Structure 1
């Protein structure tokens, strides 16, 4: 089936890439009421082939498994952190999709701001250690997470200061190679 409709599959893909057909329009046409549509069935079979190949690669390549696991763990850690920051818990009080979207976006913005602030603090500490002559090991930096919870007061006084900072935050890890990679023990 894929071979028979290969030209149609390519034509559809090129139309999406060139912007002649939006992916939303195509998905609407190929929705759940189009099981008799030949293009729908060809795309479904192609998807099954790609899924099978990916699963076989996942099973046979340890490096791919490690990469997927690491990425999944990072995403789950972020979602767990954002959920912890969510004021009011998991409840999104309205059935209005626009309101729900705003709540989710605000929560992710809040999580990203907290992560950015923590990353700046970590950068400052690493730069201070390096300035004092202490070696900062790569392995030590790799274990530091920006998802620190004990420094954040979720229900405390939140002060929004819109004035620009007196100086730009230090976002660069300013370490010399000899300081960054101290002698191995």
Structure 2
């Protein structure tokens, strides 16, 4: 209770409490109490998961979204079969940042295009509610050409 009150009243910052729990021995009463509380919460969740079909479906839907989200960078990152082949940290971070940038650009483009379609349908009198829109994924990527298309102008032509 003292830990909870300290956190609520902001007399002890959370990082100090976590640091104390991390640095204390496993036999410390407070550490044992938090460990057991965590086990109780986890057990309660597992029992809810096993008995609640709606929860299982929600969790599965979120897992599927996460997996689908990871497919986009794998689709884009075709070179070297999607592996970083160099051990240079700076180059790996550069490639990872670029991959994240391109993935986010595709998601942004998809968002704009889907919004354009929805607005066009609404202007035509279609009733599209937000609940329906919540089921639309921004993750489609089959329209993306991972190798790109390059247009090169011939210098000889005017």
TM-score grouping bracket, smaller chain normalisation: 0.5 to 0.7
Pair 63,91 (structure 1): closer, same or farther in 2 beyond 3 Å: same
For 2:24 and 2:149, the matched residues in 1 are separated by 53
* TM-score in terms of structure 1 length: 0.59
Unaligned runs of 5+ in 2: 151-158
Aligned residue number for residue 156 of structure 2: none
Aligned residue number for residue 126 of structure 1: 118
Aligned residue number for residue 146 of structure 2: 154
CA contact (8 A) 1:58 1:65 kept: yes
RMSD after superposition:
3.6
CA contact (8 A) 1:92 1:103 kept: no
Unaligned runs of 5+ in 1: 1-6, 159-185
Aligned residue number for residue 91 of structure 1: 84
Pair 33,142 (structure 1): closer, same or farther in 2 beyond 3 Å: closer
CA contact (8 A) 2:122 2:128 kept: no
Secondary structure at the aligned position of 1:30 is classed as helix
Pair 146,27 (structure 1): closer, same or farther in 2 beyond 3 Å: same
Is 2:45 the counterpart of 1:54?
A: yes
Pair 101,13 (structure 1): closer, same or farther in 2 beyond 3 Å: farther
Pair 47,95 (structure 1): closer, same or farther in 2 beyond 3 Å: farther
How many residues are paired up? Answer: 146
* TM-score in terms of structure 2 length: 0.66
Deviation, 1:141, is 5.6
Deviations 1:78-132 (A, max 9, x none): 1222333346414374474x87666555533432221121121122233334545
Is 2:94 the counterpart of 1:114?
A: no
